[in-house]
Structure 1
């Protein structure tokens, strides 16, 4: 019993309000209402650089902007955790058997949307919810929350914190979050008329 309670409390939702827990897709739409996909990816890259590389340009951003980006990102990760069993934004094309149709659909959709994923493969674009599942195979919710908190401290620090996380750990999480942001962007675009 104690192990089960500990497991539940480890991956509990902390940042989302009750209405957001009840409707986590709202968090996804709010995330992309706050900024466009390229801006979120730029913020994520700056965070990665602050956490993994010593650079002259770090900490030039406003601490309130950094904290706001951190909060938005954690809320998106928590919403993704709640949505990981859903099949949202799915395009029903078998990417292996009908690769030409899938590529045509991706090209057509890419021309309609303001921004389009650059880091997802054909299968992930057709089934963006698969990216959510893959994201949580690397780390669970609590793991991402801990890592993002370290990134926040590193980004707000006046000096480079080399011992925080290894560069490899930072890069792995960064790459997963880039894919998650892009998949959630597709889900937001494909579900916005239903919300």
Structure 2
């Protein structure tokens, strides 16, 4: 059993290390996605479209775009590219979700428990989620403050926080706070 566990941990390490190196390489190089069907939020569907990415940001969208000689070229013929999905209610990458010491915990902040290596980030990115509103759990009628993040698996926590995103507090009424906090004493 110990050998099997060691084997799987070794495999997990190499998968994580390789995904981080691919991310780092893509951030340094240009990336050209060729011949994709691009789904936009405003301009409809753009067939046979190229997307040029420089320094991790979209630089151009069009046809027959040119890239530098060392650019990473991705043939997306027959594939779709869409804007990143924004998850408005997420608990991804949180090492702790609820603070149950008190019924009102507005003094807590989920930013304090962010885990930049949570495997859920990798899964969210693989599913197209690029941004999330991370919320306190539902154990309290008035919970902690939220944090809005852009997913960047394996990067430092400071790079996740979405600058200028509005703050909020999680409110939860109904069965969850009743189940966790119990019923008040009669009388």
Could you say whether these structures have the same fold, taking a TM-score greater than 0.5 normalized by the shorter chain as the test? no
Larger Rg: 2
* Higher RCO (CA 8 Å, separation ≥ 6 residues): 1
* TM score, norm. by length of structure 2: 0.27
